[in-house]
Amino acid sequence: MDPRTVCATVLLAAGTAVLLFAVLAFRTLPRPYARLHALAPGTSLGAPLTLLALAVDAPPGRGAVKFLVIAALMVLGGTLTTLAVGRVTAEHEGRLSGDSGT
């Protein structure tokens, strides 16, 4: 196996492990706010590692760049998604009013 394949396999295994641990934590944690902590690593670390593995394994060119752009968007969007879900959960439980700016 060449070094690119080994690197892609290691990245894919790491991303898959993070995603599986996030799913396991999500299934076992009882409260919505605790579950948010389980989802954050999956969206901001697990999926980007998997996409990085795909970029390393893809032939050089536009395909690899597309995977890298999607991975960067996942890193940035994962945090924002977690914050948005937390806010909606707080509004649903009555801890935060829907029109509150704070």
Domain limits of the chain?
Answer: 3-92
**20-38 pLDDT, tens per residue?**
999 999 899 888 778 888 8
**65-82 pLDDT, tens per residue?**
999 999 999 888 877 888
Q: Does pLDDT of 97 surpass 80?
A: no
**Distance from C-alpha of 31 to C-alpha of 58, rounded to nearest angstrom:** 40
- pTM metric for this prediction: 0.78
Q: Does pLDDT of 102 surpass 70?
A: no
**Distance from C-alpha of 2 to C-alpha of 91, rounded to nearest angstrom:** 52
Query: Tokens for 34?
Result: 């605790």
DSSP letters along 18-59, please?
HHHHHHHHHHH--SHHHHHHHHHHIIIIIHHHHHHHHHHHSP
**pLDDT for res 30:** 87
Dihedral of alpha carbons 47, 49, 51, 53, sign: negative
